[in-house]
């Protein structure tokens, strides 16, 4: 597969993604059948995102599970850069994280990098990132995260707790490593050059607050991996366990061969889109279909490049037998793209109506989840 155009950094994902190549380039491990079996022992039936290899790669997941089996706990850590509305791609790692929280009964540290988005997006003010922090938190609460064990931490509200640890981390990373890992340029502002130390902090937060050495597992799409490469190098020097990761694939956009991205709003479905808007976007989507109905009936379509099929595979069709049938029906020409789009639009619509209801209910519950320095200080032992 040609991968020359593939770019995967925390701030840019472009081109056709070759996930095997990423495992090689980033030096991560594939999730093997043995590891899946080990997970199954604790979770029962495997989550859709594991069964379908949407979470496909890891670092030290086997190690963290081994410790867990020996009676030691771990915590979860993931996050969001609150730069706008949440799209359904963002929901993927969060849905999976919620599953892990439920099965392993762990605390989740959820970082809102309002500082990061302020620094990299010329159009964003701190007032706006604060607004999106709250709006995006509603999406998390709507997904059913446990109150009390889910701490949503906006960086600007947790700065006092984060700053000293960020200094410790930053002191061990020189500019040339930062440039190699994150692609900083002469024109990068100096805030963003320091910022990776802030995203590293929650990897050590539970250990820092409790004085125990508690490892952290980070579920996220693989674009966030550069942060963890840097953090894992620093961890032993600070005497903390290296953070473990489980890496997910990207939900593609509704266009051709790109990940779902907020910078292409017509090809992304936001959790705040009305069902009509979502339907319009889906009806205008790229597909793996043929130019005419006659050709498609005769030659079949290609679900392997089709966002409509991917959305069902990643999120909207839970039943494995059913998704298998859909694949076959696309291939054989039995299922036409118009009908397929309508069927997806219906599922998405149902999902949005329910999610938006839960999202509105969550407005009164923000205080149960959003934390600040004072709250974190109370956890310190
Ligand atoms: P952000 O806001 O860019 O993305 C939030 C989460 O969504 C994942 N993601 C996707 N997953 C599937 N399909 C997609 N199309 C897609 N696009 C984005 C991202 O991998 C991420 O997990 N710097 C971070 C915020 C952050 C964070 C963390 C993320 C702080 N600490 C720890 C993960 C883990 C950011 O801007 O994410």
* pLDDT of the residue at 7: 83
CB 157 within 8 A of CB 372: yes
* pLDDT of the residue at 12: 84
Q: How many CB atoms lie within 10 A of CB 64?
A: 22
Ligand 1 center–CA 213 separation, angstroms? 26
Q: What is the DSSP string of 180-242?
A: HHH---TTS-HHHHHHHHHHHGGGTHHHHHHSS---EEEEEEGGGHHHHHHHHHHHHHHT-PP
The DSSP bridge partners found for residue 270 are: 87
Q: Provide the H-helix boundaries in the chain.
A: 19-26, 33-43, 48-51, 61-69, 88-104, 114-120, 126-142, 159-170, 175-182, 190-200, 205-210, 225-238, 275-283, 293-299, 307-311, 320-332, 337-362, 373-379
Check if 111 has its Cβ closer than 6 Å to any atom of ligand 1: yes
pTM confidence score: 0.96
Q: Kindly report the backbone phi and psi dihedral angles of residue 310, in degrees, each rounded to the nearest multiple of 5, phi listed first.
A: -60, -40
Q: Kindly report the backbone phi and psi dihedral angles of residue 292, in degrees, each rounded to the nearest multiple of 5, phi listed first.
A: -130, 160
CA within 13 Å, CB half, 15: 14
With the most atoms of ligand 1 within 8 angstroms of its CB, the residue from 80, 196, 265 to mutate is 80
Range 180-191 average pLDDT = 95
Domains, the chain, ordered by start: 7-253 (3.40.50.620), 265-360 (1.10.240.10)
Range 166-179 average pLDDT = 97
- Token reading at 213: 């050495």
Per-residue pLDDT tens digits for 71-108: 999 999 999 999 999 999 999 999 999 999 999 999 99
Ligand 1 center–CA 332 separation, angstroms? 36
Per-residue pLDDT tens digits for 220-242: 999 999 999 999 999 999 999 99
């Amino acid at each position: 597969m040609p991968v020359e155009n593939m770019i995967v950094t925390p701030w840019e994902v472009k081109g056709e993604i070759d996930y095997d190549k990423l495992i090689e380039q980033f030096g991560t491990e594939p999730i093997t059948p043995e590891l899946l079996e080990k997970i199954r022992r604790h979770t029962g039936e495997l989550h859709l995102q594991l069964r379908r290899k949407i979470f496909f790669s890891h670092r030290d997941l086997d190690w963290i599970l081994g410790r867990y089996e020996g009676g030691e706990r771990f915590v979860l850590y993931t996050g969001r850069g609150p730069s706008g509305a949440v799209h359904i791609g963002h929901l993927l790692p969060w849905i999976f994280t919620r599953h892990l929280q439920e099965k392993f009964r762990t605390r989740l540290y959820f970082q809102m990098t309002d500082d990061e988005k302020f620094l990299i997006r010329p159009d964003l003010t701190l007032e706006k990132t604060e607004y999106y922090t709250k709006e995006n938190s509603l999406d998390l609460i709507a997904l059913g995260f446990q109150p009390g064990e889910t701490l949503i931490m906006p960086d600007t509200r947790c700065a006092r707790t984060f700053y000293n640890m960020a200094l410790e981390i930053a002191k061990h990373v020189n500019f040339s490593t930062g440039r190699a890992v994150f692609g900083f340029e002469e024109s990068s502002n100096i805030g963003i050059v320091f910022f990776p130390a802030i995203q590293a902090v929650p990897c050590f937060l539970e250990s820092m607050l409790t004085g125990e050495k508690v490892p952290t597992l980070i579920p996220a799409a693989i674009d966030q991996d550069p942060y963890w490469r840097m953090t894992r190098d620093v961890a032993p020097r600070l005497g903390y366990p290296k953070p473990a990761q489980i890496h997910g694939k990207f939900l593609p956009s509704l266009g051709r061969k790109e990940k779902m991205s907020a910078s292409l709003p017509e090809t992304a479905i936001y959790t705040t889109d009305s069902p009509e808007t979502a339907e319009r976007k889906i009806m205008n989507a790229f597909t793996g279909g043929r130019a005419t109905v006659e050709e498609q009936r005769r030659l079949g379509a290609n679900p392997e490049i089709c966002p409509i099929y991917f959305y069902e595979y990643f999120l909207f069709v839970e039943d494995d037998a059913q998704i298998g049938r859909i694949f076959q029906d696309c291939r054989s020409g039995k299922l036409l793209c118009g009908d397929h789009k309508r069927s997806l639009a219906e599922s998405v619509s149902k999902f949005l109506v329910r999610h938006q209801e839960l999202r509105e209910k969550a407005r009164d519950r923000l205080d149960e989840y959003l934390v600040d320095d004072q709250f974190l200080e109370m956890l310190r032992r």
